[in-house]
Amino acid sequence: MFCPAIEDDAIAVGGMVALCTGSDSGCTSGAYRLSGTPYESEDRAYCGQQGCTNNSAYCIDNLRQQPWQGNPNPVDGKPDTLAPHHSITINKSTGKLESKAGTSFSAPLVTAVVAYAFSELRRLGENLPNGYQLHQAIKDSNRPVRDPDTEKIDAQRLTGALLDEAENEVPE
């Protein structure tokens, strides 16, 4: 997992933001705001995926996921997958929210998803995929975001795709 991916064989990871458009009309449950951070010049409401009932129409209608504007361009021009690009922490001395952001946060999240998928394969006694198979499985199992050219990582779908591939593998 790299960002930026400078080799064709590398899995290019990009950052993704999840905005809460409903918070501008009064929804404050689960949304948080950051302003003046080095990575985000606009005051935006981000979706914290808290406070909304599971798959509520309001939450789904007001969630806008999109590629992060600070993504570097990989070799082929677009990331193979997206993951959240920032981590929110509370500054202990001021008590205010702070953001640590960038694709250096996104790539470890994708690596963790792959590690989980590999642990499931091992637990079930399946062989691990080679680099090409993993790269293809990530791209095939991604979930779309509202931007039609990019997709985000999905741990459950990736694990399922790798298990399906392992089960369909012809023994040598």
pTM, two decimals, is 0.72
Nearest to 102 by CA among 9, 13, 1: 13
Rg value, the chain, Cα? 18
Domain ranges across the chain: 13-168
Q: What is the pLDDT along the chain (172 residues), one digit of tens a residue?
A: 656 666 677 888 888 877 766 655 445 555 555 555 544 545 566 665 555 555 566 666 667 777 877 777 776 677 888 888 876 667 788 877 666 677 777 888 889 999 999 999 999 999 999 988 999 999 999 988 876 677 888 888 998 888 888 777 655 5
